[in-house]
Structure 1
Amino acid sequence: MSTTSKQVARRIVAGVGLSALSISLAACSSTSNTSSDSGSGGTVHVLAEDISYTDNWKALLPEFEKETGITVKIDTVPYSDQASKVLLNFSQKSDAYDVVFTDNTYGTGYYQSKYVDDLTSLQDSGKDFSTFSDFYAPYISPMQKDGATFGLPVYGESTWLMYRKDLFEQYGIAGPPTTMDELKADAAIIQEKSGGSVAGITLRGAAGIQSVYPWAGFLRAFGGSFYNTDGKIDVNSPESINAASFWSDLLTQYGPAGVGNFDWEQNRIAFTQGKAAMTIDATANGPYNEDTSASTIAGKVGYAPIPYAIDNPPATGNTDNSLNVHALYLSSYSKNKTAAYKFMAWATSPDVQAKAVQAGEAVGVTANSVLDGPEYAQKYGAFQEAVLGQLKTGNPDYLPAGQDANTIITAVGQALSQTLAGEQSADSALNQAQKSLEEQLPQ
């Protein structure tokens, strides 16, 4: 178990009481499923993220319910509200929700806290829909440990470098940068040779998770982490300071006007409208780049790994690209586990995932056959190989985890904003963030 994984379990348990106090107890009060655990009929209650993948389930549910005799009730909430509601349900040992839908950071902690079950013994009951082997290995691996499989992946993403192939060719740059020094040099070449009409690079600069998510790649590119080897918060390490200073200088010198306020959407628009030559962000951005109805750079984008500043970068472990997987988990308190698992197997089945690709935006689907299928290749072929390559090396501990995660991300995001605005040096801002975190989160 990694140090961060241990922290997840500890923080999940520690945060239950606080989360429970922040939400009405009536929201998830314990109920009793009257159906037996035979898997035939009964009602399965699901707490899900409000996202297109869930919309796809709702559209197809009548087929599942007719075939199995199982009724499925899906409650959706925004992702930002989901963790507290799930924790409240678990803290009360409630069977109000049989299945919960959340990301692997929380899911690992839930499993370690015995809030969710190992699914291995139930796999046969859902084999008519899917089995563990149907999933792309990097997507299901974060939910597997010591022979157990405790989640079924719905969708996921990594991070990568996106760059303008046409501009690189126009200005004599042989290929994408492979080091952070090359990244900065390429940004300078394009900005200078374009007469400033194209920024060298654009990134999210807004405070909080907006800047921290892509910046975490810079942190790890310089060999850093949010924690030291003892698992204690370490956001002012030399590596962290170097990463923040480099990031700030890069955007100050070669970023577009107003970049300090850019969130994901503003950054995406700046890139897809040809305002910048490079960006680092989620693999989910690929379809937006190639959307000929909205992007001025469709067909002109290259996709590559995020460069490193350190020599001999890791191929696994503390890599500088993320691996975030949102999955379905079976509550340990469910009284209808077989039926619940059948829903999980159906909802993540190749057939249902294929229909998600056909119906809308679903670049993050997790089934091997769908990822290798003609519909996926037709929609996402421009970057299909790059996406799968990034997932293979993705870092599941890329961001802080557990109940302290938001506090850490907020503090680091504020430090980055202060550095980018020139209000403080990276050294001063991160030392202040470290002091604040040590006071708020005694180790």
Structure 2
Amino acid sequence: MSAAPTARSRAPRLAVRIGVGVVGLATAAGSITACAPSGSGDGGDASGVTINVLAEDISYTDNWKELLPEFEEQTGIKVNIETVPYSDQAAKILLNFSQKSSDYDVVFTDNTYGTGYFESGYIDDLSEHEAKGEDFVGFDEFYEPYLAPMQKDGATFGLPVYGESTWLMYRTDLFEQYGIDGPPQTMEELEAAAKTISEGSGGDVAGITLRGAPGIQSVYPWAGFLRAFGGDFYDGDELAVNSPESVEAAQFWADLLKNYGPSGVGNFDWEQNRIAFTQGNAAMTIDATANGPFNEDAEASVIAGKVGYAPIPYAISDPPASGNTDNSLNVHALYLSSFSQKKDAAYEFMAWATSEEVQTNAVENTEAVGVTLNAVLESPAYDEKYGAFKDALLEQLATGNVDYLPAGTDANAIITEVGQALSRTLAGEADAEEALNAAQEALQAQLG
């Protein structure tokens, strides 16, 4: 939801989890030209073919554009890359797929939506296409935690471009100044640390900052609180966004921000939250592992070299070591449209875009902490650039929860309603129980 996250070397920017509700599809449908589903390929010779890619507007995409002339010369394939903000993607991709349009051969988004696209038959199992890209990459070259979210029932339906988990980031210098012995081990200790620093600084430094803006912005990091209190979005197969654990997690989250958060936190998106932390205005935050490079950028961050990285603490006494953990595993990947009429060429581009050469260039020339190939993660260049937090990063990825957020066809509706409930609770319009009961009722009406 995604995490998430990288930046250009010239002008840092990140793929931010900003998801929005998919609304007005019926009205907007006329803007997409519907086409009949295509055949399985483009005749085996991709040379001379032009493909269209809908991508997130982030540095990984910039990296492709920089290297694209080499790919086009090598293969004879012409690639048009249309970039849009992450916040605009969900509606645009779903509209395209619902019209069975061949306008886009490849889409680039995260596994929260990708799983639903696969379940709906909108994207291909890539297993039958893998040989088409063998000159660039094979499935076994990807870091396994990054590939796993794109695999289901024996199918592999996406090629991971970048990924992330979530973690606690805290100011080691402030913890030392206020006598706090290491990172919080429980949510109670987290609240106590926030209180100590907020009150000890006379309010000059917030105890903690988090994303408070509606929708995926708040839901993405808040889902760690939900699981820290032993909750889930479901109880078995039944939706349970208003469970006792969910209510407790939402009220704790809201009270924490109201009491010890920065002014205006209810409107914070990923970027605003990151700036609040890197500019020294808060002692802690919980967010994506992709934030690490921004924390340690001495040219832009006043806290470089003063940040500790730790797992998100639990409230329950018996936290899981794997499976339903309170840290995410979110991966943004390339998906092949089932309605593409140029599948051979499209897959060849996908394999090239995730190849070792392309990912290595991203590490060397952008902020690309989320690269997905084993060879690149283990390279000296990666170690040199991200050594300050690499071990903590890999630990979070190894335990990351692929089911951290709702996925599938109902994901957007659930995230939207829960995000609205969090906003209402934070604003004091309702307590957590009332807000989440309303969300549950709304979702039952929408989803049946």
Q: Would the TM-score normalized by the shorter structure come out above 0.5?
A: yes
1:317 maps to which residue? Answer: 323
Letter in 1 for 2:385: K
2:11 maps to which residue? Answer: none
- Structure-to-structure mapping, 1:168-317, within 5 angstroms: 168-232=175-239, 234-317=240-323
Greater Cα shift, 340-349 or 404-413: 404-413
Q: Deviations over 1:371-415 (max 9, x none)?
A: 222222222221112222211222222223345434333332232
Instruction: Give 1:141 deviation, angstroms.
Output: 0.7
- Structure-to-structure mapping, 1:115-194, within 5 angstroms: 115-194=122-201
1:66 maps to which residue? Answer: 73
How far apart, CA to CA, are the structure 2 residues paired with 1:409 and 1:334? Answer: 29
How far apart, CA to CA, are the structure 2 residues paired with 1:26 and 1:407? Answer: 23
Alignment CA distance shift 1:23-1:308 (3 Å): same
Greater Cα shift, 194-203 or 348-357: 194-203
Letter in 1 for 2:314: Y
Gaps of 5+ in 1: 1-14
How far apart, CA to CA, are the structure 2 residues paired with 1:341 and 1:183? Answer: 46
Greater Cα shift, 96-105 or 79-88: 79-88
Partner of 2:367, secondary structure, is: coil
How far apart, CA to CA, are the structure 2 residues paired with 1:382 and 1:189? Answer: 27
Partner of 1:202, secondary structure, is: coil
Cα RMSD after superposing both structures: 2.5
Partner of 1:244, secondary structure, is: helix
Alignment CA distance shift 1:179-1:108 (3 Å): same
2:384 equivalent to 1:383: no
Letter in 2 for 1:145: K
How far apart, CA to CA, are the structure 2 residues paired with 1:68 and 1:381? Answer: 36
Alignment CA distance shift 1:28-1:74 (3 Å): farther
1:347 paired residue among 350, 353, 361: 353
Partner of 2:325, secondary structure, is: coil
How far apart, CA to CA, are the structure 2 residues paired with 1:89 and 1:260? Answer: 33
- Structure-to-structure mapping, 1:9-24, within 5 angstroms: 19=25, 21-24=27-30
How far apart, CA to CA, are the structure 2 residues paired with 1:150 and 1:433? Answer: 32
Q: Deviations over 1:222-248 (max 9, x none)?
A: 11122221232x221100111012112
How far apart, CA to CA, are the structure 2 residues paired with 1:25 and 1:418? Answer: 34
How far apart, CA to CA, are the structure 2 residues paired with 1:32 and 1:143? Answer: 23
Greater Cα shift, 258-267 or 302-311: 258-267
Letter in 1 for 2:98: S
How far apart, CA to CA, are the structure 2 residues paired with 1:160 and 1:372? Answer: 21
Instruction: Give 1:215 deviation, angstroms.
Output: 1.2
- Structure-to-structure mapping, 1:81-120, within 5 angstroms: 81-120=88-127
Alignment CA distance shift 1:343-1:187 (3 Å): same
Q: Deviations over 1:128-155 (max 9, x none)?
A: 1111122111111111123321110011
Partner of 2:241, secondary structure, is: coil
Kept in 1, the 8 Å contact 2:117–2:409? The answer is no
How far apart, CA to CA, are the structure 1 residues paired with 2:63 and 2:34? Answer: 25
How far apart, CA to CA, are the structure 1 residues paired with 2:413 and 2:95? Answer: 19
Letter in 1 for 2:248: N
Greater Cα shift, 16-25 or 178-187: 16-25
Q: Deviations over 1:193-228 (max 9, x none)?
A: 334332221112233322222111101111112222
Kept in 1, the 8 Å contact 2:117–2:408? The answer is no
Kept in 2, the 8 Å contact 1:162–1:302? The answer is yes
Greater Cα shift, 186-195 or 222-231: 186-195
Instruction: Give 1:164 deviation, angstroms.
Output: 0.7
Partner of 2:238, secondary structure, is: coil
Greater Cα shift, 260-269 or 187-196: 187-196
Kept in 2, the 8 Å contact 1:117–1:330? The answer is yes
More helix by share: 1
Kept in 1, the 8 Å contact 2:146–2:331? The answer is yes
How far apart, CA to CA, are the structure 2 residues paired with 1:261 and 1:88? Answer: 28
Aligned length, in residue pairs = 427
Greater Cα shift, 297-306 or 264-273: 264-273
1:51 maps to which residue? Answer: 58
Alignment CA distance shift 1:405-1:258 (3 Å): same
Kept in 2, the 8 Å contact 1:99–1:340? The answer is yes
How far apart, CA to CA, are the structure 2 residues paired with 1:16 and 1:115? Answer: 17
Letter in 2 for 1:405: A
Kept in 2, the 8 Å contact 1:134–1:350? The answer is no
Instruction: Give 1:89 deviation, angstroms.
Output: 3.4
Alignment CA distance shift 1:406-1:240 (3 Å): same
Kept in 1, the 8 Å contact 2:33–2:103? The answer is no
1:368 maps to which residue? Answer: 374
TM-score computed with the length of structure 2 as normaliser = 0.88
Letter in 2 for 1:345: A
Alignment CA distance shift 1:345-1:277 (3 Å): same
How far apart, CA to CA, are the structure 1 residues paired with 2:38 and 2:420? Answer: 45
Instruction: Give 1:20 deviation, angstroms.
Output: 5.8
How far apart, CA to CA, are the structure 1 residues paired with 2:174 and 2:63? Answer: 38
Kept in 2, the 8 Å contact 1:365–1:371? The answer is yes
Partner of 1:155, secondary structure, is: strand
Greater Cα shift, 24-33 or 223-232: 24-33
How far apart, CA to CA, are the structure 2 residues paired with 1:255 and 1:262? Answer: 11
Alignment CA distance shift 1:197-1:80 (3 Å): closer
Q: Deviations over 1:266-298 (max 9, x none)?
A: 221221111211110111211111111111110
